[in-house]
Structure 1
């Protein structure tokens, strides 16, 4: 097939392009912005568009299928041309469903932990030599790609994002996947640009739960808000609730506990123990023994940008994390604080999503960074322009976060300057963003020179 992907630069979309090319299809694509690692990956496979932007003349009658990402707006010239030519157009979730409709679809939902839980399940299945397809939002250690599409695998593990599928199909992705097995790993308001109230956001998870068939399975974290929406939903089956997997911490290291045996982990944080419990429920459903599960978890390492360790020596450790919603920011900071209780903690957070750049949503971040010794919030004027959002006032951001030792800047190089001015070793630095800090990178060598 000849396939053209609109918004090919996305984290998943560019991986889908590579997977389709590897499967023998002729693939092209377009986007108005493409950053690394997508840019390098597309270039490696000769899929990087020769010119950045969307152009109607790229859409020709011989294209068999258009796959459109959420980044493609309704007035996108390529979408308009595709409609004129009456070409088949699918959103990414629709395409994934079409591929997997004869497989057993296990969809991992929730406001946080989706990528990590999906990655944990993938890790266990791979170690136990199980056949499966998958779709995950970030690179998982041990896997070359974010997506695998095959004819042979009987199941597909899907990270189920609640965000909208596309401008043409404005419903949550996880509903389009039509789960045979669903999981909800916590709910905290997010994506305020498309779900303007918490009640509206909750409704999406209720619809997701209601889609799970009577011969399937529905797992959910045992939290009051999750129980409330499931009590109100018209479910076809009884949900199975889970709590945090038994664990203990010794000298800052986390261990799972099962049948009087301990299993040392490479990951840390209470939120990750909840993620492990979610992954365990799915693996248990797939007839995987708990002992085998715990042994597999000993070698699991964080997915890309999920408390990913960038640097470490005896006095300094630097992490990168995808945290962007309020609950995710708090959980990430609390995890690092718990792991390094005696170190100075410097937390850096980029406002990058539509929600975080929405002045009305900002108060949701109140005191989310207060467990840090130094907190830095950065936002890009360019990001506001791209998202066509009104400017933000620094004073309003400071009021919204409502805490001490908070710095707010729109100049990305200020981050380095503030860190260099206030750092005291031993220290832990955590960089949190769903974007890329305008391509800025922390200069660790400069920090080492200053403190020495």
Structure 2
């Protein structure tokens, strides 16, 4: 098979390119910008484009498929050439389905927790010696790539998000996979630029549940009232299995789960992660992993990259980095750290970086989300306002939206950096949350200075 990737540098795209290369496909690609680690990883496998840019001459009639990334535009010259030649054009979720339609497909959806649940499942299946393929949205310890596709694995575990498949395919990705086992971790409004109302957003999860194949199973978070109501209204020939929090204890900053009269010490913490763990347990049980083995294996799970990732610690302080950016993720992450370390001051900093989080109409969804932090900081890089063509707003607007008059707002990375490195981090935790990079500030310097 000969395939060409338009926008090969994306996180999922370059991992799919590597997976197909390892499967024996002839892979080429293009992109107008290539960041790390994508460039180095593509270069390692000999499939890094020789130069950046779009080259319609790469699109030839002997291609079996073109895979189109979300980063490309509808007027992309390579895309137009492929359409002119009548070459089959896939989004990456389309092609994942094409490569896995004869496998048992487990698809993990939800507004939050998708990556962690998927990572937990992969960790346990690997520890249990199972043969499986996968697509996950973060780099994991023990896994070379974020995508694996083989001919012989009987099952594939797919992190399936609700964002659009490609510039010319406006379906949410998780609608495409046709799950045999579907997971929904929770529903909290996001992607306002695509789903303008909460009702419209909820509909996408209902459609996802309805794409679960006959005789399949929906595993869902019963503690989410919106999701519980949606699952109850489903008219589908599938099994429905809800989950809630397991029994657990926190002792000196360490969480243990209690199951079958045994206590299993975990390396992750927070009620949101305990719920994620229960979703993963039910999936693994469906795939032949007993509960006893699940808890034994999950005890060594350290978490996915940038999901409550410990940057550093000493005897009285810790610094965490987290991917949280939406209101529900922000609340869950802050609550997790405060509950785990109730006697420590919590300094929480969120970078508003996505289109939804920067939308002034959506901003009120953050009301009360930082109330459990002792010091609350919001960072918005002025360059992000410019890039997204959004009119800047001042601290009064942010304080009103968050319903927090003591909140601090920074819009200059240098000013944020100076503030953070002057903190007195004694009997305190610093929690840094963003889907961006805080304007490029060096967190290792902050770690060295504070700890």
TM-score class normalised by the smaller sequence: over 0.9
Distance 2:111 2:422 in 1: 35
Task: State the TM-score, normalizing by the size of structure 2.
Answer: 0.94
1:313/1:35 Cα in 2 relative to 1: closer, same or farther (>3 Å)?
farther
1:431/1:195 Cα in 2 relative to 1: closer, same or farther (>3 Å)?
same
Corresponding residue for residue 110 of structure 1:
110
> Quick check: 94-103 or 205-214, which moved more?
205-214
Distance 2:27 2:411 in 1: 38
The offset of 1:73, in angstroms, is 2.3
Equivalences for 1:25-424 in 2 at 5 Å? 25-222=25-222, 223-387=224-388, 389-395=389-395, 396-424=397-425
1:282/1:383 Cα in 2 relative to 1: closer, same or farther (>3 Å)?
same
Distance 1:438 1:9 in 2: 21
The offset of 1:386, in angstroms, is 4.1
For residue 320 of structure 2, give the secondary structure of its aligned residue in structure 1.
Answer: strand
For residue 300 of structure 1, give the secondary structure of its aligned residue in structure 2.
Answer: coil
Distance 1:373 1:247 in 2: 26
1:24/1:383 Cα in 2 relative to 1: closer, same or farther (>3 Å)?
farther
1:447/1:176 Cα in 2 relative to 1: closer, same or farther (>3 Å)?
closer
Equivalent residues of 2:215, 2:239 under 8 A apart:
no
Distance 2:447 2:300 in 1: 31
Equivalent residues of 1:333, 1:347 under 8 A apart:
yes
Equivalent residues of 2:382, 2:412 under 8 A apart:
no
1:267/1:70 Cα in 2 relative to 1: closer, same or farther (>3 Å)?
same
For residue 356 of structure 2, give the secondary structure of its aligned residue in structure 1.
Answer: coil
Corresponding residue for residue 426 of structure 1:
427
1:29/1:412 Cα in 2 relative to 1: closer, same or farther (>3 Å)?
farther
1:47/1:262 Cα in 2 relative to 1: closer, same or farther (>3 Å)?
same
1:74/1:267 Cα in 2 relative to 1: closer, same or farther (>3 Å)?
same
Distance 1:344 1:204 in 2: 39
Task: State the TM-score, normalizing by the size of structure 1.
Answer: 0.94
Which of structure 1's runs of 4+ aligned residues deviate more than 6 A?
none
| Count of aligned pairs between the two proteins | 449
The offset of 1:51, in angstroms, is 3.4
> Quick check: 421-430 or 410-419, which moved more?
421-430
Distance 1:398 1:44 in 2: 47
The offset of 1:384, in angstroms, is 4.0
Distance 1:56 1:25 in 2: 21
**After superposition, what is the alpha-carbon deviation per residue over 1:85-144, rounded to whole angstroms, capped at 9, x for unaligned?**
222210000000000000000111111111111111111111110111111111122211
Return 5+ residue gaps in structure 2 as ranges. Answer: none
Distance 2:208 2:158 in 1: 14
The offset of 1:443, in angstroms, is 4.0
Does residue 442 in structure 1 map to residue 443 in structure 2? yes
**After superposition, what is the alpha-carbon deviation per residue over 1:317-368, rounded to whole angstroms, capped at 9, x for unaligned?**
2211111111001111111112222223222222222211222111111121
